[in-house]
Amino acid sequence: MRLRPWKAVLAACLLGMGALVPLLSPPAAVAAAPRQSALHPVNAATALEPAAARTAAAERSYAGLTGVFAASNTTAEPVPAVDLAPHAAAAVLMDASSGQVLWAKNPNARRPAASVTKLMTMAVILNAIRSGRVRWNDLVSASEAAVRTPGAQIWLELGETMSVRALFYAVAVHSANDAAVALAEYVGGTLPHFVEMMNAEARRLGLRDTLYTDPSGLDDQNAYTSAYDVALLSRYLVIDHPNVLAYTKTWEYRLRANKLWMVNRNRLLTRVPGVDGLKTGYTERAGYSLAATAIRGSTRLIAVVLGDPSSQARFDEATALLQWGFSHYATVAVAARGEVLARLPVDGGARRTAAVVPAHPFGVTVPRGQEKSVATRVQLPGLLIAPLRAGQEVGFIAAATGGREVARVPLVVRNAVPRLGPVWLWVRMWRGSWPWR
């Protein structure tokens, strides 16, 4: 496009007048999604509509009510007449899709974590790998601290090197404490710094009843967690790092040129259909614990039992929780991965519209027979203001049953939209092509 001479001169004069651009834009308040309840329409929010009308299968979701990943701590009917975990000190059955608690016993009681601690160790390592700071093929040298770590081991020798992947298998399959320490030192630089990373991640995820003091879960009077926090952490792993299941579902793994044979400590992998994780734990102080997850069809459940008196009791009670959950609940799809739910106009952007998608695939689990009762609602502003980052939150989609919100997932911008410079903004104005016209 060629500008007329007088327009070109005026445009050049405006190169340093970026400060005038905001004066030409609508109020910035419309750039952010309103904070009202998901069940009360505001601005461009849609009306409630049956979720059964949506055909895409939901795979992952956030609820985002506490921290960045905490979920609704409500219990959905039906509640069994019998105690599903009579011997456990604490237990939780959670729907992985929405984060709803389907059954609970002392869910927020603070308990010793034992090796269930390694769920957070794996989460921090996976975060580092995703960020590019650590690679699966990196070689890790065993320190004296790793070699001397008691408990379950792969018997690392001082200075022995193994890949991050091999050590991660040792943690996920064999619950090896020395491997956990070696990885922690490699990722965090020092053990104390890695523990700081663990606790920072716990705060970010909204784990309110959790404190870590080491990466392996050895007995410490100052360390604790809760069944609800373990369920939240498990949900984060299976949703945000689903590749972890490739490791936790591995029944056997061999190290050192097949000289060391490891068998998974989670016996449910071979006993209960659909189980593909996650972590066992035991110390004398903590008792026997288990965080288990299983998927059948589109429904994924997480069962956590802490403080059982025996290994058999933890497996039996986790099995009872999962079997009861699958018998009584079904998952309804709400929004699929990458599904474009809206295209919003953008003020001052290099593109005039931005596609809005769910931050993660989203579904909600309800009692069987009530699948058609689920309603959904999208809430978004009427206009976005550039610049926009890819993944920037601009609204949410909520799911409700019986008029009560049970879960929500953020809606985000799919692709970044940079802001136009002042010259091209004026050119658009002269051409009568402002985004809101």
- Known active-site residue 311: no
DSSP state of 415: S
Q: Taken in order 77, 81, 82, 88, is the CA torsion positive or negative?
A: positive
d(CA 400, CA 385): 30
- Known active-site residue 175: yes
SS3 425: helix
Identify the active-site residue in 115, 143, 234, 289.
115
d(CA 387, CA 418): 5
Look at residues 28, 29, 49 and name the one whose alpha carbon lies nearest to residue 419. 28
Where b means 16+ CB within 10 Å and e means fewer, 212-224 reads: bbbbbbbebeebb
| Chain centroid to CA 68 | 8
- Known active-site residue 373: no
SS3 420: coil
Tokens of 404: 């009560």
d(CA 74, CA 103): 9
Bond into 22 cis (ω within 30): no
Catalytically active residues are 115, 118, 175
